Amino acid sequence: MPRALAVVLALLACAAIAVAFAACGDDDGDEVSGVEAVDANCEEVEYGGEGDPSALIVSDLPLQGDSAERSEQMNDAIIQVLDDEGWKAGDTNVAFQACDDSIESTGEWDEQTCRDNATAYAENSDVIGVLGTYNSGCAGEILPILNEAPDGGVAMVSPGNTLVCLTEASAICEPDEPGVFYPSGTRNYARVVPNDAFQGAGLATFVQRQGVRKAFVLYAADDPTSKGQADTFKGAAGALDLGIAGFEPWDPEAADYTALMAKVRKSGADGLVLAGLLEQNGPRIIKDKVAVLGPNEGDGAAVQLFAPDGFAQQATIDDAGPASAGMFVSVPGRTPESLTGQGKDFVEKLSANIEGAPVELYAPYAGQAAELLLSAIAPAAKRADVVAAVLQAEVDNGIVGSFTITRTGDPSIGPISVSVARDTFELAETIEPPANLVAAARGG
């Protein structure tokens, strides 16, 4: 073949390949015909239905650091719901894109990344709803931007936010909260988990039932969510006449906590509560607790160890090792193994899809958030209509049970589960705290 003809044919072949790629998306696979991919810290667009999608939902979760496994399972749960629904909401074909609100240097959510992601969602007219966030602090950065997004705002449904102040005024909140999160005057946010007033009330009840007389409360410094969890526990403890031996921050950057644990021992506390995240040097503080104060259970367990949901993940056991044994963690809602009906079936299917790994506590709630958002999109896939539908949602026999979304955006049910660390976390008790104790936790 003449050289000139070979060159021409090669160029024609390359052009044909380029056209093929353009028809199917770019060469990174991050576009799906019918919707525009979010230009932010996101993975590729996914779609498994027939035809082309006309709407896009995104998840906003920390996909790096200690939260990576938990967040991956939450995305797996969302995709499972989309598969079950045929990637449709009513007559609307819906695609999905997983976005990351964490940064590599810390493995934690990042304020600027949260804001940048939110701006990208707001500016992309194909984005009809957001599933997230996990961290309440990130929600506080995202919500005001989504609230003023074009065409009536973008609805956000969280499977994991627990900060009271995102939805309710309280003595533990800033004076302008929660209004500051909704500058348009119309709310666009709901969550499917109980807030920290329920969790503080439930955990304080459990701590007292474990025979603790005086609890020392530590919270991660410079983290409003951790401080809020500590405050709700303290409020409920006061109503229960459970003593507070100390109430102090811990420095997530500290090299060790032996001096802090010596202070806990000197206080006479027989219980220690850690309000914070595993990512905030959690494994180190757990190990130093055991080194100074002894084991969490059995002979020599002079000080029992408790924590709210920031430690309620398999990574706590994996990273803290034997020091985590006997540690109790609370989580808003019900654990995967205690769900019934549709929830039990959903967990069994998810477990098979992740090859039998322990199902993380928030994965079913991510699935429930996805179900709720799809039901809100079904009547009319317009931003303002979806916002209104989310705030009027009624869930009948859903993945996590039956409930309605109240006028504040909270679920109408508030069970709290407490599990104990073994090889995995095993359910110890499910508590439904009374309204008066929840009010005390809220500071009301």
Tell me, what's the pLDDT at 357?
A: 84
Bridge partners for 102 per DSSP:
109
Band of the pLDDT at 77, cuts 50, 70, 90? very high
Task: State the average pLDDT over residues 64-85.
Answer: 95
pTM of the complete model = 0.84
What tens digit of pLDDT does each residue of 144-188 get?
999 999 999 999 999 999 999 999 999 889 999 999 999 999 999
> Which residues lie below 8 Å from residue 326, measured CB to CB, with a gap of 6+?
295, 296, 297, 298, 301, 304, 305, 420, 421
Question: Using CA atoms, how far apart are residues 239 and 63, in angstroms rounded to an integer?
Answer: 38
Spatial distance between the Cα atoms of 43 and 39, rounded to a whole number of angstroms: 10
| The domain made up of 42-194+338-413 is a member of CATH 3.40.50.2300 | yes
Q: Do domains 42-194+338-413 and 197-332+417-442 have the same CATH topology?
A: yes
- Kindly tell me if the per-residue pLDDT of 25 is higher than 50: no
Give the pLDDT confidence score for residue 1 in this predicted structure.
43
Question: Which pLDDT belongs to residue 299?
Answer: 87
Q: Give the position of tokens 């998306």.
A: 25
Q: Which two tokens stand for residue 270?
A: 């027989």
Q: DSSP assignment, residue 36?
A: P
* 272-292 average pLDDT score: 97
- Contacts for 10 with CB less than 8 Å, ≥ 6 apart: none
Q: Could you identify the residue written with the tokens 């609805």?
A: 155
Q: What is the pLDDT of residues 222-257, one digit of tens each?
A: 999 899 999 999 999 999 999 999 999 999 999 999
- Residue with more model confidence, 8 or 178: 178
Tens of pLDDT, residues 316-359 = 999 999 999 999 999 999 999 999 999 999 999 999 999 878 89
What is the pLDDT at residue 31? 63
Give me the residue spans of the domains in the chain. Answer: 42-194+338-413, 197-332+417-442
Q: Class for domain 197-332+417-442, per CATH?
A: alpha beta
In the chain, how many H helices and how many E strands? 13, 16
Distance CA 61, CA 398 (A): 22
Beta bridge partners of 155: 129
- Residue 171: its pLDDT value, please? 87
CA dist list (Å): 270 to 296, 311, 428, 436 = 10, 20, 19, 26
d(CA 327, CA 26): 48
Q: According to the model, what pLDDT value does residue 17 have?
A: 38
| 64 Cβ contact list (under 8 Å, min separation 6) | 100, 102, 103, 104, 107
| Residue 143 banded pLDDT, cuts 50, 70, 90 | very high
